[in-house]
Amino acid sequence: MKKTIYLLICSLFAGLMLGCNSPEGPTTLLKNDCLHRSWGIHMVGEELVFAYAAAMPYGTGKIESMKVTASIAGGTSTRFDTRAYKTSQAGVEVGTTVATNIPQTNPCSSKVDLIVDTCAITLRYYYEIPEEARDKDVTFTFYASADNGEVVSYEMGPIHCSRQDCRTGLEANNERCYISIEDMAVYTYDEVVAGNKSVDIIYTYKTVKTPTSPSGSSSIGGLNKCFMAPTTEAINRIEELKTIQLPPVERNTKLRESAHAKDEVIEQSKWHLYITDEDFAALDFRPSPVGMGYSNLVTNFVTEYNCIWIESEDGRYRAWMWVNTPSSDLTDQITFGMKRYEVK
């Protein structure tokens, strides 16, 4: 049978044919290499993506199978992709089925048998990060075997999985305005009361250009899009906010408006910038100059540039909020995303 060489990443195979499997291991005809291809901070539910390659000199044998074992069993979508890919002249990836999945009794392992006669192959492996891997390191051992009896392996990791949770596409308006960090959800007042929901932030939109404080002073800027802690103290800071209905339980949430912090997942951009666990851990809401300080009210929020750092009253959660709706949208409807970090 004519042998077909499936190439995905040329640099991988250059290294495969020139390098060894390990500095101390025996020399084999079969070589292997691996790339970690996924971006981000690796949150629960996301996928780690690897490209695992194996090759041997033409005419010396064929590759029979590939296998990977993770230190923590992955989620339900964990798998080998049974297709090998090439890029067409139009710049589109075209996949060809080259393998079949083999069921494994070990939940940490995935295996494929090749169904083509080849001495070089690259397959993609997808690992769905499970809840069990939250704030833990995961390691992977890849294996390839050939019909000449050789078996090679490649270690990847440790790769740290984030402690964070993320929610995108949340919607709020002047009625559905009660935001819960614990639930990462938005409620109406009736839903809060009926479900005994925790509320950490209230959102409102008011077209007031010159709001007044209780002392009668103005010149504090317009209201527009506002976020506040669900407390009597917060709404009493401005006369026009006093009509807001507070939830049954008031919580003195700490809010800190900030500029230019980016996160690709929430902002839905391609900056490859992320809010990390280290960013959350470094937050210090103590009053200036010791810490960065905080407020219980943010008014005239400019959505294109600013974000809000948040800490719950009990200190259990910290969060980062980004509003996707532009400031030019002069309605009460907003779409936003949130990242949440459990401190304790």
Per-residue model confidence as pLDDT tens digits over 116-165: 999 999 999 999 999 999 999 999 999 999 999 999 999 999 999 999 99
| pLDDT score for 39 | 87
**Longest Cα–Cα distance in the chain:** 89
Q: How far apart are CA 2 and CA 161, in angstroms?
A: 43
| pLDDT score for 9 | 41
Per-residue model confidence as pLDDT tens digits over 75-90: 999 999 999 999 999 9
Per-residue model confidence as pLDDT tens digits over 54-108: 999 999 999 999 999 999 999 999 999 999 999 999 999 999 999 999 999 999 9
Give me the chain's average pLDDT, please. Answer: 89
- Per-residue pLDDT for 11 more than 60? no
How far separated are the first and last CA of the chain, in Å rounded?
Answer: 61
Taking residue 250's Cβ as centre, other Cβ atoms within 10 Å add up to 15
Q: Please calculate the CA angle 75-77-80 and round it to the nearest 5 degrees.
A: 115
Name beta bridge partners: 55: 31, 120
- Per-residue pLDDT for 10 more than 60? no
Determine how β-strand 306-311 pairs with β-strand 317-323: antiparallel
Domain boundaries, the chain: 10-160, 165-342
| pLDDT score for 271 | 72
- Per-residue pLDDT for 21 more than 50? no
Per-residue model confidence as pLDDT tens digits over 308-321: 999 999 999 999 99
- Of all residues in the chain, the percent with pLDDT exceeding 70 is 89
Q: Which CATH architecture has domain 10-160?
A: Sandwich (2.60)
**Mean pLDDT score, 211-234:** 76
